[in-house]
Structure 1
């Protein structure tokens, strides 16, 4: 599968993301992490709140897209601080997650899961 980095990303953001987990857009428009795994948002997260509503058992099933503590947000990407103090990437203010059931690149098994989880496009 071919990836192209988002045009809104400046070289500084690509460098910052490389410290944690780079985000790319597949030709289909879906955002993926450095491993090519699909990224998701959760409807219970409030955009721009700086918080994640996915904690406890939820985070085991929906792992957060980790950000290094010293990365700088830019453009549509920001960083939130989770309840446990770790950092997580957000897209347009919504925290980003992968889905533990997705096993291979291109899997999107979490899309519309319980009508509250959605592939990021």
Structure 2
């Protein structure tokens, strides 16, 4: 069962920050969303981290505040020369992402393995 107080679960891989949103903003205190979003923004500054993988497998719905938080981190990663990807989106989440045309900037993969192959491959650093 997900930690009801965590907005995002994270993992640090060799070059990639993995972010797993745990639900919509309405499920959390606004201050928690704000503080955790800012923490993600700081984490991507760690020297070994370059890329961002957003795993959407834990959510059936994603709102504009969570999307905005994720886009801040993805944009910063891109500014630092990194790559960003999404994976594991449910059909309703895919629909939301399609409406805002996320795929034009950051690809969406079916599985985490496919997404990891994109961001952790040696070619991702070129």
| Shorter-chain TM-score tier | under 0.3
TM-score normalised by L of structure 1: 0.26
Identify the structure with bigger relative contact order (alpha carbons < 8 Å, sequence gap 6+). 1
Higher normalized strand content (fraction of residues): 1
Higher normalized helix content (fraction of residues): 2
TM-score normalised by L of structure 2: 0.25
